[in-house]
Structure 1
Amino acid sequence: MSRPRCERCVRPQNHCLCHLIPSLPSRTRVLILQHPDEVAHALNTARLAALGLMNAELKVGEVFADLQQWLSSEYRACLLFPGEEAQELPLASVPKDDRPLLLVVPDGTWRKARKLLHLNPLLAELPRVCLPAGLQSRYRLRKAPGEGALATIEAITVALNLQEEPACFDELLRPFEALIEGQIAAMGEETFLRNHQKS
C-alpha cells in the first residue's frame, strides 16, 4: 500500500514541503513544459517552481497542441535553452515593446528536452535565451552532465533574478534545498561524504 501523499506538492504527507513553498509574484510569466518521464521523479523541481510562482504554469506532455494559445501576445515569448543563437539574460527592453517576457522552460533530461523541441516546431522557432556560463548546481547528490547544468527550479530562479533585478527569487529554492537535505539525512552523513564529496 502506498503512503498517503500531499495533493499539492505530491510528497509523502510526512515529508510535505508546502510550508516551504513561497507564493512569489513576477512580471515575467513562466511556462514549464514537462516531459512525462519527469512527473514521477523524486525531485520534480518543475512542479515546485510552478507552485512557488504566482505567474507560472506547468504543462505535462510530449506534443503540446495548444502551445500557440499559451504563447499570449501580452508577452514576448522566448525559450530558455542554450544554443548558438541564444541571447544571455537579462534581455534588454525592446524600444516600443514594453511587454514582459514569457519564459518557456522545457523540463527533462537534455535528450528529452531536445525531443520536446523536435516534436513541437513552434518551440524551436522561439527566440532562445540562456544563463551566464559557469553556474554550479546546488544539487550535491548528482554529478552534473555538463558545466552550467542546473535543476529546472535553479535555472528558473537564476533567470528571474537576472531579468527582474533587484527583485530576488532565491526563496523559490527553499523546498529544493530541503529535499536535498532530506535525501542526505536518509542516506546518512557518512555515506554522503564517502560518495558525494569532491576529492
Structure 2
Amino acid sequence: MSRIQCPRCLRPQSHCLCPLIPSLDSRTRVLLLQHPSEVNHALNTARLAALGLNNAELIVGEVFENLPVLLNRPGYTARLLFPGEAAQPMKAYGSSDESMLLVVPDGTWRKARKMLHLNPLLAALPRVTLAEGGVSRYRLRKAPGPGALSTVEAIVQALETLEAPTSFAPLLKPFEVLIEGQIAAMGEEVYLRNHSEK
C-alpha cells in the first residue's frame, strides 16, 4: 500500500513540507531544468526551490524543445549556472541593473553534462559560477569536490550574490528539515557509521 503524497511538495502527506516553504520574490528569474531521474528523488531540492521562489519555473526533461522561448524572456539576460573555462564569477553581476534569467540544470554532474550535450542552445549560453569554498549542508551525500552544493543551496548562494543584501535563507529551511528527517529515519548510529567524517 503506498502512502498518500502531497500533490505540491510530493512528500508523503505525513511529512509534508509545504508549511515550511516560503514565498519569496526575486528580481532574478530562475529556470530549473530537471533531469527526469531527479523527480522522485527523496530530497528533490530543485522542486523546493521552485516552490519557494515566485519568479521560478521548473521543467522536467532531457531535451527541451521550447528552449528558444524559455530563454528569450523580455527584460532578462540568460546565464547558465554551470562551471566551464569561460564561466564568469557570479559576483561580477552583483551590481548590475540588468535582470538575469538564471538557468540551473538539476541532476548529477554526469546527467547535467548530458543535458547540455543534448541541448546545444543551453550549452551555448554564457556561464556563471559560484564563489569557491561553499560548504554544503547536504550531509547525506558525499560531495564530489569542494564547493559542491545541492541545487537549492546553489540557487540561494547565487541569488544572495546577485541581489545582496536580500536574504534567501528561508529557502533552506525545508531542505534542512528534510535532511534531519532522513537522518532520524536511518537512525543516528547508521548515519554516523556511513556519513560522518572519517
Same fold (TM over 0.5): yes
Offset, 1:145 = 1.2
- Taking the aligned partners of 2:35 and 2:193, their CA distance within structure 1 comes to 33
Residue 57 of structure 2 is matched in structure 1 by 57
1:12 deviates by 0.2
Distance 1:193 1:36 in 2: 31
> How far apart are the structure 1 equivalents of 2:18 and 2:36?
23
Deviation at 1:160, TM superposition (A): 0.3
Name the structure 2 match of 1:116.
115
Structure 2: state its 5+ residue gaps: none
Secondary structure, aligned partner of 1:91: helix
Q: Is it true that 1:89 corresponds to 2:90 in the alignment?
A: yes
Within 1, Cα distance between the matches of 2:33 and 2:125? Answer: 14
Q: Secondary structure of 1:103's match? A: strand
Could you say what secondary structure the match of 1:106 adopts?
A: strand
Amino acid at match of 2:65: A
Q: Distance in 1 between matches of 2:132 and 2:115?
A: 24
The amino acid across from 1:42 in the alignment is: A
Structure 2 letter corresponding to 1:171: P
Q: 2:139, 2:82 → 1: CA distance? A: 23
Q: TM-score, normalised by structure 1?
A: 0.95
Structure 2 residue aligned with 1:142:
141
For residues 170 and 142 of structure 1, what CA distance do their matches in structure 2 show?
21
What is the DSSP-based 3-state SS (H/G/I as helix, E as strand, rest coil) of the residue aligned with 2:104?
strand
- What is the aligned partner in structure 1 of residue 47 from structure 2? 47
Report deviation, 1:195. Answer: 2.2
Residue 100 of structure 1: aligned partner: 99
Q: CA–CA distance in 2 between the matches of 1:133 and 1:47?
A: 25
CA drift of 1:190 comes to: 2.0
TM-score (norm 2): 0.96
Distance 1:8 1:100 in 2: 28
1:53-78 deviation line (CA, Å, top 9, x unaligned): 00000000011011110111320100
Match of 2:77 in 1: 76
Give the counterpart letter for 1:87 in structure 2.
Q
- Which structure 2 residues correspond to residues 138-177 of structure 1 after superposition, within 5 A? 138-177=137-176
Instruction: Give the corresponding residue for 2:6.
Output: 6
Q: What SS is found at the alignment partner of 1:24? A: coil
Q: One-letter code of the match for 2:144?
A: P
Amino acid at match of 2:173: R
Q: Which residue number corresponds to residue 37 of structure 1?
A: 37
**Distance apart, 1:110 and its partner CA:** 0.4
Q: What is the SS of the residue equivalent to 1:59? A: strand
Superposition RMSD in Å: 1.1
- Distance, in Å, in 1 between the alignment partners of 2:62 and 2:4 is 28
Q: CA deviation at 1:42?
A: 0.8
1:22 match: 22
Look up the SS of the partner of 1:102 in the other structure.
strand
- Amino acid paired to 1:105: V
Post-superposition offset of 1:194: 2.4
